[in-house]
Structure 1
């Protein structure tokens, strides 16, 4: 309650009286709405009246209280502890959609948030942002992971690691919780905005050119040949008896139908 009210003096007083800085707030009131009265196993969007990650530190992060966040960390708060759903502070920030504070937590000089931690749904903070459709914080994550190669005035050349973005893991196995898969499966306007981002758009373009373009045009060619042959067969059909075989035209029609069926 002290954190929610952004009352730093009360926070300091409680900690001076040996309050547990990592005490969790659990119970029905602090659960996402679709998880109340149920075991925490089914999928959820973490939408709830008071779901802030259960720890005082995650509460401070979700309401963007920088002073309290720093003070809790300096007194033993750990941003990488997991709540009932396996969410860390970074996951909670994603749920609350606080892009600026995400950068602050990841770059924190005392204890930085671990971007590789996964919750019970096998989602990293990056994957969770893609799942929930958080374009602003997703783009912030990409910029934090970017490696700058060179800069000239206001022009920058950067590379982006795609280990957690691409649909295929480095070992060749399909990753169903990858950023690209989760974004493509999304059904909101926010997911469309994420597809239009420069990194995801370039990744899709490269995958299209490398894997899909040749196959698409090959199938398109087969489809056109099939339509042409079918059109010839329909045009040369007899008016009355469809099974008649009297001349060269009927022979052509028969062979065309056979070839069309092959395609």
Structure 2
């Protein structure tokens, strides 16, 4: 199968998996605290990855581990906690739209730190996308006064973390297999996440908490599919394509996430949808290539 066909297949599968992750986080939070959701998500995903990819860790050099540590903190440790914190106040649909700024941040980080050359059209796209983000947040404050939209910055910081991860993998870790990169990244996140879980008291609480018993299935799906499997597929997509194309998975994620949110009774205003469209238009400008 040609590379061009493969990358679109990976993009489609990832959109479905990650688009469903936001509703899974929401359902997990019904029984667990944000710290417990983030920690268990990392630990469950890590255990599966250790089984599948432990042998692949032998392929990493000392230099690789330096970049893996940074990439692992940016992609496997910070976002699981911050997304859970953000969704305590913001709906799953809006969270997915805010996540759409990943390609914009990927472009900015690539330009500032990794020598990526930008055209005027791409610079314009970045500013338009960021303008849409501001509109989305301010509209949310007006439309949902009961929600604390300052928690949006947890999602924005996670998007920035992902953008560092994408550029690091493409520039410094492209010679490794996706399974090796993913397993090593979660190896970096595993022990700090386990310490946080121990201090959260989740293991002592679980036995007698019915809400936890019901939510744990959503959390398992989130960890095994939305985290472990999705990260392997995403790292493969980065290798098959450019960093910006890989980040463009966020084009389709909001469509899936908003549909799940509407089915679960969430409401999104027209102004918020307009802000989301502005973000996606900015992302499109950044990615668009002129025809020869």
Which structure features the higher share of helix residues?
A: 2
Normalised to the residue count of structure 1, the TM-score between the two structures is 0.23
Higher relative contact order (CA 8 A, sep 6+): 2
Which structure features the higher share of strand residues?
A: 1
Structure of greater Rg: 1
Normalised to the residue count of structure 2, the TM-score between the two structures is 0.22
